[in-house]
Structure 1
Amino acid sequence: MAMSERPPDVGVDREATRNLALMLVLTFATGVVDAGGFLGFDTVFLGNMTGNVLILGMGAAGADGLPVFSLALALIAFIVGAGIASLFLRSGRRGWSPRLTAVLVVSASLVAGTSVLVWLQPTEHVAVMFAIGMTAGAMGMQAAVARNIGVADVTTVVVTSTITAWAIDMFARPSRATILNRRLAAIVTILVGALVGALLVKVALWSVFAVAAGVSAVVVVCGHVLASAGSGGITRTS
């Protein structure tokens, strides 16, 4: 039996590059979503739960004007989304799989549903609560997907640890490689996503989530197609 088509290490390199690119695109989507949540839903983060925990702490201390219920709802929805997605992915193989595609389809659908809900009921309190829960749950699912994919330093929903690792390496071993790398790419993509999201809020809040859902859908399609093509790249011949 002989292997054909391409050496295994080439396939691994391509898979790693593909996964990095797709996770960075999802990181951009998180920036878009969080801008929409923070600016449109009264300072509620939908992907970055660190911010919500901090603001909840301030609210517990009696600080005025903080949306404690909305923050708690987002945090709980994120936890539930991440937990359910991780349980679903646990029984499948690591990396891009049909199960992972299914989780991202649900996640993108929830964000798309938020867009429709905000478009139909932009000021209705109950609709806003549903929108917060749906989107935060979707972001939890996305975080579970990123963990399953396992791209180092790219969680898609938070960059604090990424900034820390980037700064440590940059000062310890200053070079082009320690500055211009995937860590910086993750930081920049979530920043650009937040910029785009803030601009979209000025247009219409529903457009924030429509764009984020569209970006996530592109990741789903590209990831599934590329993974399917890659799985057939190594064949055996007699």
Structure 2
Amino acid sequence: MALDTKHVTLREAWATVAPDPADRHGPLPPVMLALTVVTGLVDAYSYLLLGHVFVANMTGNVVFSGFALAGAAGFSLAASLAALAAFAAGAFLGGRLGHRSRAHRGRVLHQALILETVLVLAACLIAAGADPAHAAVPRYALIALLGVAMGHQNATARALAVPDLTTTVLTLTITGMASDSRAAGGKGGRIGRRMLSTAAILAGSLIGAVAVLHGLPALPLLLATVLLAFVTLVSFRLTRSDADWTLPL
């Protein structure tokens, strides 16, 4: 039984990295996995250098707002609220663009990636020439740019609705791994994909944190920009597809 479970997990993981073209979500899973790595890179940068604030995981900012209101040291209510506002603005923009291109999921993805790449590149350029940890203007500019980018990404992931690849939120993913496991009496569905999603954000945050802690503060954003640019180029081919996966859900 344990061996069978291992084979199923590996098969599900492989199907996420190299999906069957006939699958309902086509080539979208590996792209969403790459965006999950971007989330880890960006949030590592924002938390470690922008004053204990997330630009992708909004639950943390709500909690941090509570800490700041209580007077806890090291937390900024203004920064948390700015991140929440920027993320909401990005999600609104992503929703508007997504609904306009809803007839083709490949075009929704490609348009979103173009905008996200531009925003993260702009943030990278600011980070390379300023010290956001000690200067308010670049700090809030970075929160705004990255918050909009991540909100837009999240809205796009929501529109594409690839199961267990939301690119930012892992609470339900980890809950699903535990509650749907065979040990819990469930069917054990998509544990391979869920583990990959968790590993992707862990890898991004680890790489980002190592870069920041070793004196390369702008490197996480540079890596995120390069990864986004690559995925954007790859996704251009998806806009020309007329396969079933391109149809809206």
C-alpha distance in structure 2 between counterparts of 1:173 and 1:191, whole Å:
28
Match of 2:55 among 46, 61, 78: 46
**2:204 is equivalent to residue 196 of structure 1:** no
Moved beyond 6 Å, runs of 4+: none
Q: 1:131-146 alignment to 2 at 5 Å?
A: 131-146=142-157
Residue 218 of structure 1 is matched in structure 2 by 230
Residue 16 of structure 1 is matched in structure 2 by 25
**2:60 is equivalent to residue 55 of structure 1:** no
C-alpha contact (below 8 Å) 1:104/1:141 kept by paired residues: no
C-alpha contact (below 8 Å) 2:21/2:27 kept by paired residues: no
The percent of aligned pairs where both chains have the same amino acid is 31
SS in 1 for 2:25: helix
Kindly provide the CA deviation profile for residues 17-38 of structure 1, in whole angstroms up to 9, marking residues without a partner as x.
Answer: 5111110110011001111111
C-alpha distance in structure 2 between counterparts of 1:86 and 1:203, whole Å:
37
SS in 1 for 2:27: helix
Residue 74 of structure 1 is matched in structure 2 by 83
Match of 1:167 among 172, 178, 199: 178
Q: Which runs of 5+ in 2 are unaligned?
A: 1-19, 245-249
How many residues in Structure 1 have an aligned counterpart in Structure 2? 221
Residue identity matched to 1:185: L
**TM-score normalized with structure 1 length:** 0.85
Kindly provide the CA deviation profile for residues 93-125 of structure 1, in whole angstroms up to 9, marking residues without a partner as x.
Answer: 255333432222111111111110011112432
Residue 41 of structure 2 is matched in structure 1 by 32
Q: Per the alignment, do residues 203 and 63 of structure 1 end up closer, same or farther by CA in structure 2, a change over 3 Å counting?
A: closer
Residue 83 of structure 1 is matched in structure 2 by 92
Greater mean alpha carbon deviation, residues 144-153 or residues 95-104: 95-104
Displacement after TM superposition at 1:61 (Å):
2.2
C-alpha distance in structure 1 between counterparts of 2:225 and 2:126, whole Å:
13
**TM-score normalized with structure 2 length:** 0.82
Residue identity matched to 2:234: C
Kindly provide the CA deviation profile for residues 186-222 of structure 1, in whole angstroms up to 9, marking residues without a partner as x.
Answer: 1111011110111121242111111111111212121
SS in 2 for 1:231: coil
Root-mean-square deviation over aligned CA pairs: 2.1
C-alpha contact (below 8 Å) 1:147/1:155 kept by paired residues: yes
Q: Which runs of 5+ in 1 are unaligned?
A: 1-9, 234-238
C-alpha contact (below 8 Å) 1:95/1:148 kept by paired residues: no
Q: Per the alignment, do residues 173 and 95 of structure 1 end up closer, same or farther by CA in structure 2, a change over 3 Å counting?
A: farther
Residue identity matched to 1:190: I
